[in-house]
Structure 1
Amino acid sequence: MTTPHRGAARTEAIMRATLELGQEIGYAKLSIEAIAARAGAGKHTVYRRWPSKGALLLDSLLSLHQSSLDFPDTGDIVADLRTQMYAALDLLGSPPFGPLYQALVGEAQNDPQVAAALNGRFITPQADKTVARLKTAQEQGQLSPAFDLSLAMAILSGPLYFQFLITQEPLTHEYADRVIHALFDGMGTP
């Protein structure tokens, strides 16, 4: 029988092997068998915990970021959005998270289970944090009562995902500043 500590250590070794191999050979060449071999585990051990390599990669990536994308609340919504967006861009711009997250989003297009898990465990919680912070700002009078919070979330994240996934241009802090400026200042009348 596996002890809880040994089970946690095995899980950590498998997730670490997933990230290492994913970074070395890429998601397309990644296999459960190779992950199991690197982690010193049987492939059946891996399959008992994860139904697919996409599900395993998602858990492995989520283990990296933990609460690094939580929102500060300094009382200045623009500064707080900037801080959070910079943290997200830094995470997406660095290996292993960025390249493997791109691959996972690609996998989600073909695997409904991976898509549902990615949305439920990462995308929706991050969007909810953004909307909650915007709502607090709205309640504090920093944003108009008519400000559409869900649309603002889409406007903030859409350009980042477009650049990250479609054009594959580097995500920079300057680009985040441009997005924030367009939302809060740049759309006003002259």
Structure 2
Amino acid sequence: MAQKTAPDSNRRSERSRRAIYDAALALVGEIGYPKTTIEGIAARAGVGKQTIYRWWSSKAEVLMEAFIDLGVQAAEAAGAGDWAEADGIPDTGDIEADLKAVLRATVDELLDPRYDAPARALAAEGVANPAFGAEFVGRLLMPALELYVRRLRAAQDAGQIRADVDPYIARDLFSAPLAQRWLQGTGPLDHAYADALVEYALYGLSPR
């Protein structure tokens, strides 16, 4: 008599978690963050809302983990050469080319509808809810921004950037204008703008 295999609870939980991620991202893109609810996410994912509350306390937390997972999935799909992986921004020896490559990739991501709506929702929630904002910055923004600092320090070691430059301030010369233009729509967001940011910033950072 054949033995019955017990259901794999871990696999079932992973399927539910994945369905919840997909549902949260889809709803925010379709109806907007304000109208997205835990109940709506649960219905879209085909799970009970108690399942969601067992893992998260708010829709903001659901969306943040879904967004982080989206980034992980994209990095894995891109392969080992993707700049956002643990190894950081590639160091080809050409700081200008490397920074242009990463800013262009960032522009492409910000213009991708899969990222745009949830990213804007998380940024807005972070402003309205300081506690969530601190978590959002710590888990999402700072790890990515630290990659710039590491690459800029390597450029300093190679003599491509002045040794007295603060890499954290230098990092903001690239990332802050890009984020502002994306959030406020003050001008076109494209590869030409990304390249110009790098060229303008490096003109002031190059050794004298």
> What is the TM-score when the length of structure 2 is the normalising length?
0.84
Cα RMSD for the two superposed structures: 1.8
Question: Share of identical aligned residues, percent?
Answer: 37
- In the alignment, is residue 38 of structure 1 matched against residue 56 of structure 2? no
Question: Corresponding residue for 1:129?
Answer: 147
Q: Which residue of 1 aligns with 2:29?
A: 23
- Give the aligned length: 188
Tell me whether 1:119 sits opposite 2:137 in the alignment.
yes
User: Does structure 2 retain, via aligned residues, the 8 Å contact 1:93–1:170?
Assistant: no
Aligned equivalents of 2:187, 2:41: Cα separation in 1: 30
Per-residue deviation, 1:162: 1.1
Offset, 1:2: 6.7
Per-residue CA deviation, residues 70-94 of structure 1 (Å, 9 max, x unaligned), is: 2122111111111111111111111
- Deviates further, 37-46 or 112-121: 112-121
Instruction: Encode CA deviations 1:87-111: one digit per residue, 9 max, x unaligned.
Output: 1111111112112201210111111
Mean Cα displacement is larger for which, 159-168 or 46-55?
Answer: 159-168
Distance apart, 1:186 and its partner CA: 6.4
Distance 1:94 1:25 in 2: 17
Q: Whole-Å Cα distance in 2 between the matches of residues 90 and 140 of structure 1?
A: 29
Q: CA deviation at 1:113?
A: 3.1
Structure 1 residues 187 and 120: CA distance shift in structure 2, 3 A? closer
The match for 2:176 is 158
Q: Which residue does the alignment assign to 1:143?
A: 161
Any stretches of 5+ residues in structure 2 without a counterpart? 1-6, 76-81
* Cα distance in 1 for residues equivalent to 2:25 and 2:133: 19
Q: Aligned partners of 1:160 and 1:129: how far apart in 2?
A: 16
In structure 1, list runs of 5 or more residues that go unmatched.
Answer: none
1:95 and 2:101 aligned = no
Confirm or deny: 8 A CA contact 2:162 2:205 kept in the other structure: no
Q: 1:42-61 counterparts in 2 under 5 A?
A: 42-61=48-67
Partner of 1:176: 194
**Aligned equivalents of 1:51 and 1:169: distance in 2?**
37
Bigger Rg, which one:
2
SS state of the match for residue 91, structure 1?
Answer: helix
CA apart distance, 1:170: 4.0
Runs of 4+ in 1 over 4 A off after TM superposition: none
The answer to whether the 8 A contact 2:126-2:133 is kept is: yes
Residue by residue, what CA displacement relative to the aligned partner does 1:2-29 show, whole Å, maximum 9, x if unpaired? 7111111111110001111111111111
Contact 1:55 1:117 (C-alpha < 8 Å) held by counterparts:
no
TM-score (normalizing by structure 1): 0.92
Is residue 27 of structure 2 the alignment partner of residue 9 of structure 1? Answer: no
